[in-house]
Amino acid sequence: MPLDASSSTATVWAILRKECRSEWRTRYGLNAAVLFAVTALTAVTFAAGRMPDQPGMLAALLWITLLFAALSSMSHAFVREVESRTLLLLRLVASPTEIALGKLLFNLVFLCVVEVITVPLFLVLTGAPPVRWAPFLLILGLGTLSLAASSTLVGAVIAQTRSRGALFAGVSLPLLLPVLASGVAGTRAQWDGMPIDADARLLAAYAVALFGVSLLLYDHLWED
Amino acid sequence: MIWRILIFLWIATTMVVALLGAPLVPVLQETTRVLYFHIPSAWVTVLALGWSMINSVLYLIRRDMRNDDHAAAAAELGLVFCIVATVTGSIWAKSMWGSWWNWDPRETSIFFVLLIYGAYLALRGSIEGEEKRARLSAVYSIVAFVAVPPLIFVVPRIYSTLHPDPIINGSGKIDMDPMIRWCFFSMLLGFTFLFTWLQSLRVRVSRLERRLAT
Amino acid sequence: MTETAAVRVGGSKLTHRYGRRATGVHDLDFEFDAPGAVAVTGPNGSGKTTLLRILAGLLRPSAGETNVSVAGRDHAPKQRRAVLGLVTPELEFYEEFTATENLVFAAEARGLASPARAAATALERVGLASRSAERVAGFSSGMKQRLRLAFALLHEPPILLLDEPGSHLDEAGREAVRDVVARFAARGLVLLATNEPEEVQIAARRLELNGHGLGDPS
């Protein structure tokens, strides 16, 4: 565990900037992720059609699209390091927790960028009813936090296995089902005009729990 | 040897008594019998999951391969019992409510546990090196533990329930005929013994495999 | 350069196995003080790289322990990155970044006071100053090796762990490396894993790993 909070912050910040710069330079990850998200979105909305009066269905489809967009793009943060063999460099300049935090923040930013493109597109293509922005964004934000926390940890584990891509979705899913459940319920509730407190609280608690537990575990991930 | 026979006798006797001698629960009628193997299976599923997760934590602390043996063995057995519980539950649901699967909260919970077991075992299967496998699967197991309370307790509350909770509430008030109660708890115990015995066998196999590889 | 007051690297009953196969790291006991150089020798696959990785805190040994203390303060394996520099052929850089960017990133992550200056100094010491603005993707293997050395010297650590530092380098490069190492060894501690006779000669002390050959460890 890092002993000095301010130097750790600087390290995490350096790693985050490095990730962003690296992503910006190659743009492979972002391009692929946005393309996939839009493709998934198109397929879903085309098949389902316009649904101005089915908030339950809308909520479900939105979260499924986001889930798949996340599952397809999040694993690459660590897999890339393993494949380019730069993980050793990282381990020599930062602690496992610092590395993980940097990657987590990057994954969060990445997901937000993907969502900024995907969510409005979804609302338009499905003819969704007007959104109550504050609750909608709150549920979305909290769910994204859990998506990022889970994907970072699972990504770090999966990067060290043999069949990375195939495993990532399957191993992540149990961890993300609570997010799916509360996310759909909360998103639906804001369209139904119901309060979202319970769902928001659940999502927040879950994100905190995931984040907290994973912080304790990162130290054990790289020992060889 | 003796354990094998004792456990067999215990479960067999209880089963016979339960099926022939015990009365039927009014709401359930003939399907009362599901009490005697479906719920014990579900119970063992949860027991195995808990035992597996505890051993995962112990492994990370102690780095003793025996803990990993236990975690993996419990997960394998848990998966089997989970499949049994899910399938028997589904069959019972069909006869009781007319459909094989309803996303009823209890059904949903057991299915989620099935997914966790599946993910854990798939993960183990894809890692080379026993130390690495033990360590990484222990990490996953502990994170999955965070997901379990929401999956088992919270998510089901979001949806309404068809499950006969008032009658068969496992931990709360048991409102059953005494004969049923005896048979039920006896089966619960029998299944627990079964699990313990199978677990010890599986762990022994793991240890032998490891020694052979030396 | 850091004060060499009580810089010590040691190991006790150190053992490491890969699966069931033993390596030359078997019940090792050693202790080395700065200044100076130690040559770690042994056949291919005997565990030289393994030993260095264990000392660097990257690899948890099967049995036994290591200790690294600088200025009387003990450093646990997971906290040793700050006091040592590691050069190993497995170290790769970010190909999409320039040499300078890689080192500046490393310096920032390490929390150095002036990352840009540290990077520039390190690059100069290994003779890469003129190529500093080029992306690593275009580097030859010799240049990458120099970059590894620059990376290890970046934070001016008291201890240097070098795994085959002369690999990929021509004679001029190898001589430059020997020069850097010799100057470093005047005040710090260098552990040099090598079979090159000229490199072994720099070191006054030796640690011999008579291993079970595993073949080429990479």
What's the pLDDT tens digit per position in B62-90?
999 999 999 999 999 999 999 999 999 88
The segment with the largest mean pLDDT, out of A81-95, B11-25, C8-22, is: A81-95
pLDDT band at B155 (very low <50, low <70, confident <90, very high): low
Residue in chain B nearest A175 by alpha carbon: B147
Q: Look at A161 and B158 and tell me if their CB atoms are within 8 Å.
A: no
pLDDT for A84 equals 83
Helices (H), chain A: 5-26, 28-48, 55-73, 76-83, 87-93, 96-125, 133-158, 164-192, 197-217
Q: Contacts of residue B138 in chain A, CB cutoff 8 Å?
A: 220
* Closest CB from A11, A25, A92 relative to C111: A11
CA distance B152 to chain A (A): 10
Q: Look at C96 and A25 and tell me if their CB atoms are within 8 Å.
A: yes
* Closest CB from C78, C79, C92 relative to A86: C92
**Which value does ipTM take for this structure?**
0.89
What's the pLDDT tens digit per position in C54-94?
999 999 998 899 999 998 889 999 999 999 999 999 999 99
Lowest-pLDDT choice from A8-22, B161-175, C133-147: B161-175
Report chain B's terminal Cα–Cα distance, integer Å.
Answer: 29
Report chain C's terminal Cα–Cα distance, integer Å.
Answer: 33
What's the pLDDT tens digit per position in B91-135?
888 887 788 887 777 788 888 889 999 999 999 999 988 899 999
Q: Determine contact: C86 vs chain A, CB below 8 A.
A: yes
Higher model confidence: residue B10 or residue B200? B200
Residue in chain C nearest A5 by alpha carbon: C111
Q: Determine contact: A201 vs chain C, CB below 8 A.
A: no
Segment C20-44 shows an average pLDDT of: 86
pLDDT for B157 equals 61
CA distance A222 to chain B (A): 9
Distance set, CA A175 to CA A171, B116, C101 (Å): 8, 8, 37
The answer to whether the CB of C127 falls within 8 A of the CB of C99 is: no
Higher model confidence: residue C45 or residue C39? C39
pLDDT band at C208 (very low <50, low <70, confident <90, very high): confident
Tell me how far apart the alpha carbons of residues C82 and C106 are, in angstroms, rounded to a whole number: 11
Q: Look at B129 and C20 and tell me if their CB atoms are within 8 Å.
A: no
Segment C202-206 shows an average pLDDT of: 86
Q: Contacts of residue B119 in chain A, CB cutoff 8 Å?
A: 170-171, 173-174
pLDDT for C217 equals 39
With pLDDT > 70 as the criterion, what percentage of chain B qualifies?
A: 85
With pLDDT > 90 as the criterion, what percentage of chain B qualifies?
A: 40
pLDDT band at B19 (very low <50, low <70, confident <90, very high): confident
Q: Contacts of residue C111 in chain A, CB cutoff 8 Å?
A: 7, 10-11
pLDDT for B6 equals 85
pLDDT for C215 equals 41
pLDDT band at C4 (very low <50, low <70, confident <90, very high): very low
Mutate to test the interface with A, among B63, B126, B157 (most CBs of A within 10 A): B126
Amino acid at C48: K
pTM: 0.87
Q: Look at C86 and A14 and tell me if their CB atoms are within 8 Å.
A: no
Structural domain boundaries in chain A: 5-220
Q: Determine contact: B127 vs chain C, CB below 8 A.
A: no
Inform me whether the pLDDT recorded for B175 exceeds 60: no
Mutate to test the interface with B, among A220, A221, A223 (most CBs of B within 10 A): A220
pLDDT for C94 equals 93
CATH topology of domain C1-83+158-165+189-208: Rossmann fold (3.40.50)
The neighbouring-strand residues paired with C41 are: C208
pLDDT for C213 equals 43
Lowest-pLDDT choice from B41-50, B183-192, C143-152: B183-192
CA distance C61 to chain A (A): 9
- Chains adjacent to B (≥3 CB pairs closer than 8 angstroms): A, C
Write down how long chain A is. 224
The rounded average pLDDT for each run of 10 residues, N- to C-terminus, in chain A (224 residues) is: 72 93 84 88 85 85 90 80 87 94 93 93 88 92 94 91 83 91 90 88 93 92 86
Q: Look at B123 and A160 and tell me if their CB atoms are within 8 Å.
A: no
* Closest CB from A25, A93, A223 relative to C110: A93
The answer to whether the CB of A31 falls within 8 A of the CB of A112 is: no
Q: Contacts of residue A174 in chain B, CB cutoff 8 Å?
A: 112, 115-116, 119, 144, 147, 151
Note every long-range contact of B21-28, with CB atoms under 8 Å and residues 24 or more positions apart, other chains counting.
Answer: B21/B179, B21/B183, B22/B177, B22/B179, B22/B180, B22/B183, B23/B177, B23/B179, B23/B180, B25/B167, B25/B176, B25/B177, B25/B180, B27/B164, B27/B167, B28/B96, B28/B164, B28/B167
